[in-house]
A and B are shown apart, each in its own frame.
Chain A
Amino acid sequence: MTDLYTSQRAMRRMRKQAMDRGVVAVLDVGTSKIACLVLRFDGPEKFRASEGVGSLAGQSSFRVIGAATTRSRGVHFGEIDTMQETERAIRTAVQAAQKMGNVRVDHVIATFAGARPRSYGLDGQIELADNAVTDGDVARVLAACTVPDFGDAREVLHAQPVNFAIDHRSGLADPRGQMGNRLAADMHLLTVDRSVLENLLYCIKRCDLELAGVASSAYVSGISALVEDEQELGSACIDLGGGATGISIFIKKHMIYADSVRIGGEHISLDISKGLQIPLATAERIKTFYGGVVATGMDDREIIEIGGDTGDWEHDRRTVSRAELIGIMRPRVEEILEEVRTRLDAAGFDHLPAQQIVLTGGGSQIPGLDGLASRILGQQVRLGRPLRVQGLPQAATGPAFASAVGLCLFAAHPQDEWWDFDIPADGYPARSFKRAVKWFKENW
């Protein structure tokens, strides 16, 4: 646990360093595209004297000076599986964004959708030494949380305190300075596969970049696509990505659950490709131009030329009606949404006071998706677009950029995590004593 602590702290330090230097890049490594935004932190908010969240949740502190997208290569289900290809794609995106911003970027904050995120709810409690709660007490109560055994091959990505309770008063956001005898904390822990994370780190390192932070794609797209009251009252953000669909549940402005379904927009394209026997690129194109999930009578008469390049006239002149296309797409979309439904049910989403569901990500642009989703997920469904941030090009304002924009917000105003509090002092002596004993045993 201490290794994680130090590595995460190192990343946080790196981010502070990048902020001081004023330029940081955010990198969204997706299955269908890799987006890179270069942020410059030079707004008036950066030099604000007082503590706390600034106006516009700290967004006015930065502006986007470079943005670039490239087709992703070697990424499947949001996980890197051909490292050289992905590295090339990251290089392409970073170089283009650097060129647009005319600035060299050394620090990058990355996000990815896959790696099988798993949520754990942790709680811990301590007796307060003196009545007022201090920073040290917060660190102690977080350290007192019982960490489940999530296995060796997993790594903690987020560990955010979501709730504090003093004696019988619960729902405290910040317990510091308050009086009581017993402090309890709830923490949300998100773990991912270590190998996937390490692959990403390796790729970024190969591009001569320093990693200044990693975030889960589901989390950051929730930050950018959910409006404030949705985050406060309880809502789920469904990020329909290329290879994986991220789910994050927010309440009281904290993420309390995140998961991902390993089906996405690429699978829809693959279905079309298989069903119509056309190349994947053509299938992707037909999906984006003519795709839909609700067929009407009009769609029977809309004929799409699907073409071909074989030289066989009959084969190259094939056509398909839009209704047929919808007939291929709809089952897959339904499958995704039903999978999301089971995950939400498993997480107990129906117990939340408000059950707003926000669909975002590139897949949410399928016409008629909101109607289909409201049938499967419940009545309160809306399509979400990412927040507007300063300097973002028009081309990058679509829902496909929800996680990239969310990552900007995450960079500007990161939430407190476990490792932001100093490690409790009583943890140290026992450890170093053990180390000393071990050293003696080994050397004498």
Chain B
Amino acid sequence: MRSLIRRGKQNSEAGSPANASSRKRRKSRAAHDPAPSRLSYRLSRLWLTPSFRRMLRLGVPLALVSGAAVFWFHDATRRQAVTDRVAEIRRTIEERPEFMVRMMAIDGATPKLGQAVRGLVPLNFPISSFDLDLEEMRTRIERLDAVARAQIRVRPGGLLHIQVTERVPEVIWRVGDALYLLDREGHPVDRLDTRTDRPDLPLMAGVGAHEQVVEALDLFSAADPLEDRLRGVVRVGERRWDVVLDREQRIMLPEAGAVAALERVIALDQAQDMLGRDLSTVDIRNPARPTLRLTDFAVSEMRRMQSLQVGAYR
């Protein structure tokens, strides 16, 4: 009975009963046969292929984006516009007050050296700290003779701080007529006009003397007892030292053990006042056989005295 009622309803809705039922049947048959078409079957298999999935998920978006970018940048004016814009943004960030350097301070340098450093770093303040090449500035400053080491940093508050460590002159070196101040490592610090400008520093001469400044300084400290007579040291043949005293006296030292040899000579001097005598050279180049050279006057005087003694005996 229920089906009859339902049928009646259908009739009222659809008009012709045969038409309605046949439509319904066609629909249901189509639902029963869900066979995929060859195309959809192949597509679904393709979709299940892992490499294809990966390509689609990664490769295609990548290709699209890069293709669009290439197409857009193909035009030179657009490229120019983008680079300009980037430069402008960069500029605005760099020129913010936090990044500006307004002044420079130099520490640890004499006023003269400070002037030289300022001359080497010609900056128009204020300048952005992004435009400063600190490393390059440092090497430029360290190329100055008088500068041993330089530290440059940008301090908060827009201060460019240069900390300079100066070379300390230890010795004067005479080359020809010129006088140079050298530090302990033999590095030139400055020129000197006259010897009397720095009477506190010892003097040395000779080719290659600047390579052995430390030994020279040792010699000077060893020659402390002779200080009032000491004129300087001379490097001979780039291998050994001569100590020059006043009255044209010269102590010729060996290549090796120069300081010890000098101390021996000083000991002899202190014991027997050797250097006070009239001799021109103390030759201790061969430490086993020290030799003395007398002045011409002393030789003739000695000969005379010897002949007197011989005559006395005779």
Alpha-carbon distance A41/B48, docked complex (angstroms): 18
Alpha-carbon distance A379/B45, docked complex (angstroms): 50
Q: Which residue of B lies closest to A98 (CB)?
A: B48
A98-B45, A104-B49, A208-B42 are known contacts. Are A311 and B36 too (CB-CB below 8 A)? Answer: no
Contact among A70, A71, A95 with B44 in the assembled complex (CB-CB below 8 Å): A95
A208 cross-chain contacts in B, Cβ below 8 A: 41-42, 45
Residue B300, interface by CB 8 Å: no
Residue A352, interface by CB 8 Å: no
Q: How far is the CB of B255 from chain A (nearest CB, A)?
A: 80
Residue A326, interface by CB 8 Å: no
Q: How far is the CB of B5 from chain A (nearest CB, A)?
A: 13
Residue B157, interface by CB 8 Å: no
Residue B18, interface by CB 8 Å: yes
Contact among A88, A104, A207, A313 with B48 in the assembled complex (CB-CB below 8 Å): A104
A interface residue count range (under 10 / 10 to 19 / 20 to 34 / 35 or more): 10 to 19
Chain A 174-218 interface mask (CB, 8 Å, partner B; 1/0): 000000000000000000000000000000000110000000000
Q: Is the CB of B41 within 8 A of A91?
A: yes
Q: Is the CB of B36 within 8 A of A102?
A: no
Residue A143, interface by CB 8 Å: no
Residue A89, interface by CB 8 Å: yes
Q: How far is the CB of B39 from chain A (nearest CB, A)?
A: 11
Given contacts A311-B18, A313-B4, 14 further A-B contacts (CB under 8 A): A70-B34, A70-B35, A88-B35, A91-B35, A91-B36, A91-B41, A98-B48, A99-B48, A103-B48, A104-B50, A207-B41, A208-B41, A311-B17, A311-B21
Report which B residues bind A (CB closer than 8 A): 4, 17-18, 21, 25, 32-36, 38, 41-42, 44-45, 48-50
Q: Which residue of A lies closest to B25 (CB)?
A: A309
Alpha-carbon distance A71/B42, docked complex (angstroms): 21
Q: Is the CB of B36 within 8 A of A95?
A: yes
Residue A92, interface by CB 8 Å: yes
Contact among A92, A98, A102, A309 with B35 in the assembled complex (CB-CB below 8 Å): A92
Alpha-carbon distance A99/B35, docked complex (angstroms): 14
Alpha-carbon distance A436/B169, docked complex (angstroms): 104
Alpha-carbon distance A309/B7, docked complex (angstroms): 11
Q: Which residue of B lies closest to A92 (CB)?
A: B35
Q: Is the CB of A91 within 8 A of B34?
A: no
Alpha-carbon distance A71/B34, docked complex (angstroms): 10
Q: How far is the CB of B15 from chain A (nearest CB, A)?
A: 14
B21 cross-chain contacts in A, Cβ below 8 A: 309, 311
Q: Is the CB of B48 within 8 A of A102?
A: yes
Q: Is the CB of A89 within 8 A of B35?
A: yes
By secondary structure, the B interface counts as helix
Chain A 82-118 interface mask (CB, 8 Å, partner B; 1/0): 0000001101101100110011100000000000000
B32 cross-chain contacts in A, Cβ below 8 A: 71
Contact among B17, B25, B38 with A91 in the assembled complex (CB-CB below 8 Å): B38
Q: How far is the CB of B166 from chain A (nearest CB, A)?
A: 76
Alpha-carbon distance A91/B18, docked complex (angstroms): 34
Alpha-carbon distance A208/B291, docked complex (angstroms): 113
Contact among A71, A92, A103, A313 with B36 in the assembled complex (CB-CB below 8 Å): A92
B35 cross-chain contacts in A, Cβ below 8 A: 70, 88-89, 91-92
- Residue among A104, A207, A309, A311 with max Cβ neighbours from chain B (10 Å): A104
* Chain A to chain B contacts (Cβ below 8 Å), 19 pairs: A70-B34, A70-B35, A73-B33, A88-B35, A91-B35, A91-B36, A91-B38, A92-B36, A95-B45, A98-B48, A99-B48, A103-B48, A104-B45, A104-B48, A207-B41, A208-B41, A208-B45, A311-B18, A311-B21
Q: Is the CB of B44 within 8 A of A99?
A: yes
Q: Is the CB of A95 within 8 A of B41?
A: yes
Q: Which residue of A lies closest to B34 (CB)?
A: A92
Q: How far is the CB of B177 from chain A (nearest CB, A)?
A: 93
Q: How far is the CB of B301 from chain A (nearest CB, A)?
A: 113
Alpha-carbon distance A311/B10, docked complex (angstroms): 12
B49 cross-chain contacts in A, Cβ below 8 A: 104
Q: How far is the CB of A24 from chain B (nearest CB, A)?
A: 15
| CB under 8 Å from chain B, chain A span 42-84 | 70-71, 73
B42 cross-chain contacts in A, Cβ below 8 A: 208
Q: Which residue of B lies closest to A71 (CB)?
A: B32
Alpha-carbon distance A311/B17, docked complex (angstroms): 8
Q: How far is the CB of B312 from chain A (nearest CB, A)?
A: 122
B18 cross-chain contacts in A, Cβ below 8 A: 311
B36 cross-chain contacts in A, Cβ below 8 A: 91-92, 95
A92 cross-chain contacts in B, Cβ below 8 A: 34-36
Alpha-carbon distance A98/B34, docked complex (angstroms): 15
B4 cross-chain contacts in A, Cβ below 8 A: 313
Q: Which residue of B lies closest to A90 (CB)?
A: B35
A99 cross-chain contacts in B, Cβ below 8 A: 44, 48
A309 cross-chain contacts in B, Cβ below 8 A: 21, 25
Q: Which residue of B lies closest to A91 (CB)?
A: B41
Q: Is the CB of B17 within 8 A of A98?
A: no
Q: How far is the CB of B8 from chain A (nearest CB, A)?
A: 12
Q: Which residue of A lies closest to B21 (CB)?
A: A309
Q: How far is the CB of B20 from chain A (nearest CB, A)?
A: 11
Q: How far is the CB of B19 from chain A (nearest CB, A)?
A: 12
B38 cross-chain contacts in A, Cβ below 8 A: 91
A104 cross-chain contacts in B, Cβ below 8 A: 45, 48-50
Q: Which residue of A lies closest to B47 (CB)?
A: A104
A70 cross-chain contacts in B, Cβ below 8 A: 34-35
Alpha-carbon distance A102/B45, docked complex (angstroms): 10
Q: Which residue of A lies closest to B18 (CB)?
A: A311
A94 cross-chain contacts in B, Cβ below 8 A: 41
B41 cross-chain contacts in A, Cβ below 8 A: 91, 94-95, 207-208
A71 cross-chain contacts in B, Cβ below 8 A: 32
Chain A 311-338 interface mask (CB, 8 Å, partner B; 1/0): 1010000000000000000000000000
